[in-house]
Structure 1
């Protein structure tokens, strides 16, 4: 679960001086029962985060579904009992977290199914194209995908801007000398650079913005030199839900997509007060 302290920052941002509407309108001490409902079908995520937020404010939570479970429109996700003001204080933050995480998890699950139908060994991964990493990365995992790097501290990823300053072979060598524990990945756009990276000892070669035909040329070149099994091949850039199956049909290991997080489509969930207790 994403840490409670991280989640509480959203509450602080949303209600820096309290929820003036609820405090003005709802009598102090009013108790209520409420439900959170799915307004569409898909993969639900963020239940643990929403539960932690409501419980922090003293609301009793009965989770009817689990993170990663597929739900249908109209399904009850959570049942809440407690102080009505507290329920409404947390409402929008909890729904925002669940909506975003469920949107990501649903899309990841859809793409994983597409890819596995073509090539069961290929993994689907997200990227760092987000400012809400704890939430988004966990949603990717719930959907069945891979996180890729969580942060710049996790692994070495040598990109074009690094290579504008340091030659590829030297960059790989320096990365190897820097740490024996860090995976070394190199982003390339040409067959020659993919070969250089593999020869230099990279663990992963990322083929950036290449067509399936260009990727096949890289794979064939690696096979000719006996290097294909020495590296993992990641495909990134230009991949969409419409063409991901074509990329999955190649002899690659990972397909990563930034759009899973930078263009997430929110999953529709709502909270309804059912009765005053």
Structure 2
């Protein structure tokens, strides 16, 4: 799979944030010297972010010897990247690199675990990462979820039409869909529905995706049955969201939906554990 390229300028901005006036500790106490270092995974994980941190180290003229690539399954105590170069440069990048690879691998690992649970019940259903990402880190968070096996959903408000409850308060579903269709023929149209009635209105209006939000598995099954009876099920993708977590996701996957979107993949992140160890 082709993953999005993160602009180098974006990655270097993290270094500028961490060392706006340089790494004064290394500058004050260390002579200029060459050293070797290893970045080591301290737990089993799905690797993500290795390409980003490699590019940062290379920018600072540190030689890298990558042993693995994004998406690889890594065992604890594995060296995922070896470094050789100026000690000041390695120490300058160290924390930023560990933060990035830790966050991205944490997202990818959790995504893979959840997608595996879904696959065990419904191999045709994919989980999706939402826009509930840390400001400034969306591209990285979304890429990490992709590496873990998720659909990216929307990268931004500019990608697709998603008519939510906040829109429906101000306009009817039918009129909102009509306006969206008239505005552009090149964007998918999705409607969030909180009841069977709203879901049927959206399906009859000709949307591409119906997002069933905050429904129980039994309620979702009822909506699916109505769509089948009406001959509309095959004309729309069904996405689920709201109150779904890794402990309940198999029940939701079993109803036969096409997508399950989960904010928890990116808004509640447990960093994977990595360390950088210097070899003199």
Q: Please classify the TM superposition score into its range, dividing by the shorter chain length.
A: over 0.9
Alignment of 1:209-228 (within 5 A): 209-228=214-233
Q: Detail structure 1 runs of 4+ shifted over 4 Å in the superposition.
A: none
Q: For the residues of structure 2 that align with 1:43 and 1:75, how far apart are their CA atoms?
A: 12
Q: For residue 19 of structure 2, what is the aligned residue in structure 1? A: 15
Q: For the residues of structure 2 that align with 1:67 and 1:150, how far apart are their CA atoms?
A: 20
Q: For residue 268 of structure 1, what is the aligned residue in structure 2? A: 273
- What is the deviation of 1:42? 1.0
Q: For the residues of structure 2 that align with 1:96 and 1:178, how far apart are their CA atoms?
A: 42
- What is the deviation of 1:221? 1.0
Alignment of 1:1-277 (within 5 A): 1-28=5-32, 30-130=33-133, 131=135, 132-275=137-280
Q: For the residues of structure 1 that align with 2:7 and 2:16, how far apart are their CA atoms?
A: 15
Q: For the residues of structure 1 that align with 2:41 and 2:118, how far apart are their CA atoms?
A: 27
- What is the deviation of 1:133? 0.7
- The SS at the match of 2:17 is helix
Q: For the residues of structure 2 that align with 1:217 and 1:107, how far apart are their CA atoms?
A: 30
Return the TM-score normalized by structure 2: 0.97
- What is the deviation of 1:35? 0.2
- What is the deviation of 1:140? 0.8
Q: For the residues of structure 2 that align with 1:194 and 1:274, how far apart are their CA atoms?
A: 61
Q: Deviations over 1:55-109 (max 9, x none)?
A: 0001001101110001011000000000000000000001101000000000111
Structure 2 unaligned spans of 5+: none
Count, aligned residues: 274
- What is the deviation of 1:110? 0.6
RMSD: 0.6
- The SS at the match of 1:2 is coil
- What is the deviation of 1:243? 0.8
- The SS at the match of 2:127 is strand
Q: For the residues of structure 2 that align with 1:157 and 1:189, how far apart are their CA atoms?
A: 14
